[in-house]
Amino acid sequence: MTTSTALVIDGLLVAGFGVQHSILATVRTKARAQKRFGIKPLTWRSVESLSNVVYILIAAALWQHVSQTAWHVSGIAASMMWVVLAASWLWYWQLHLFEYDCGLAFGSTTLVERFAGRTGARLVPWKVGSRRWIRFPVHTAFFGMFFAIPHMTYDLLVLAIVLNVYNVIGSILYDKRLEKLSGEPYFAYKSVTGLIWPPVYRAPQGAAHMTMPAPSHWHRPAMHIPGLVVGVAIAVLYHVTLGHAQLGVADSARAAGAGLLAALLTGVVLGRVCRPEARSWDQQQTDLSTTVALAAALGVALWAVAEWVQHGSPPVFAVFLPLWFTVQYLGHVVAYLADRRKWSGVDERVEAEDLVIA
């Protein structure tokens, strides 16, 4: 196969991800899913995320590696690029752990709701951290995550270019959807924030003056310590089962298996160890999903760093999201089901206590 043919295939694989992601995310698709299958738009996020994971694993198996070098940077410049690369990935994890609610973003909370026979989960607009200035900071991180590579081969360059072209297009489309769904409050937020880059000259204070709900998933950080411990254990599991994972069918299959095993173990352990401390069931699930998210993200990050130190380069990017999503999504569900009564009966006990006090 010629180099140009390989790069065309790689470009189509990346573009295909954007096409399927955009189609599944449209308001029309979500409306049809709700009408035909009774799946609410927020619950549909789990379908979107599952589709993303499956697509990425298939794309990694079909990816055509091209060894020709687009650029190779060394010395101080290379060190600076490595710093930007690492910082961008760490920012990506930080955004999902602290500036978003992973359980709602990935759909695990709404699936747990179905098992519990409850309703009411909803996305809450926060202005914490970088979201005070940028509406889609995760999309900002993508530029450093995929362009700041000191040794850039042509297939990675195609990945970075096509992915970030879609990154911009997808941000614009998502912005339009939120305008329709949220109305005037979103327009007010939009007027003082940037899509991907902060409005330094137009609105340097960002959304500081706007009143928005405070995030509720880190109100007691100590409760998430079990997630730290499990995250370390997951990293060890990945090191043993995946090692320095690369592209190809075999590594994609092993990544899928490792993610499922880690999700099962994470759910069982955290479901048994964690205790509900909040009075409301919604807050309990926010706390549980955050603990699971911490374990899922830390497991991938520690494993990647360990392999990077040992081999001089990180494992292939294509396994990061599948591993993280699988543990977050299934781990949260398994954690709830592992001791369902513990998480389901608190509201009734609280009501009874309130009646006694009254």
Give per-residue pLDDT as tens, 94-144: 898 888 888 888 888 888 887 887 776 676 777 788 888 999 999 999 999
Domain borders along the chain are 3-357
What are the tokens at 186? Answer: 């979103």
Task: Give the per-residue pLDDT at 174.
Answer: 86
The rounded mean pLDDT for the chain is: 85
- Torsion sign across C-alpha atoms 101, 103, 106, 110: negative
Contact by Cβ (8 Å): 298, 233: no
Beta-carbon count within 10 A of 237 CB: 17
Q: What is the mean pLDDT of residues 178-192?
A: 85
Q: How far apart are CA 217 and CA 288, in angstroms?
A: 9
Q: How far apart are CA 174 and CA 20, in angstroms?
A: 14
The alpha carbon of residue 236 and the mean position of all alpha carbons in its chain are separated, in whole angstroms, by 21
Beta-carbon count within 10 A of 122 CB: 10
Task: Give the per-residue pLDDT at 278.
Answer: 81
Question: Among 53, 224, 39, 64, which Cα is nearest to 159's?
Answer: 64
User: Locate tokens 């007010």: which residue?
Assistant: 188
220-273 per-position pLDDT tens digit: 888 999 999 999 999 999 999 988 877 777 878 888 899 999 999 999 999 889
The percentage of the chain sitting over the pLDDT mark of 70, rounded to a whole number, equals 94
User: Locate tokens 């699930």: which residue?
Assistant: 285
User: Locate tokens 């993280």: which residue?
Assistant: 324
Q: Give the pLDDT band (50/70/90) at residue 345.
A: low
- The pTM assigned to this predicted structure is 0.84
